[in-house]
Amino acid sequence: MEPVDLNTIQKGAEGIYEAIAVIAKRSRQVNDEIKAVLTRELGEVAIPDSDTGEEKEYNYDKMRISKSFDKIHPVAVAIKEKLGNDLEFRYRDEE
């Protein structure tokens, strides 16, 4: 993750605290989306039968899927969306 100028982040917001709150909220949304996709993809992987009880066998398909999702950083995604003006926000009582 690279440092970002605070003046750049707060563009389009009332202040830096509002901008950070918006980024934090979006970050949580991205994290929830990632969890949902990861859970769905891991659920599709078959669990190997191991009744031996000797050595724990690793499910390499699940490990591969999990590692691919480790590369996604929700905060970085939210900051990129904010800087690219792809992120719109409003307050609930505004309609």
pLDDT tens, residue by residue, 54-80: 555 667 777 777 777 777 889 999 999
Q: Roughly what angle, to the nearest 10 degrees, separates helices 74-83 and 16-43?
A: 130
Whole-Å CA distances, 43 to 39, 47, 61, 85 = 6, 9, 11, 35
Q: Which residue has the tokens 């724990």?
A: 56
Is the overall model pTM greater than 0.85, yes or no? Answer: no
Q: What is the pLDDT of residue 95?
A: 56
Where helices occur in 1-95 by DSSP H, the ranges are 6-9, 16-43, 60-70, 74-83
92 pLDDT exceeds 70?
yes
Of the two residues 68 and 27, the one the predictor is more confident about is: 27
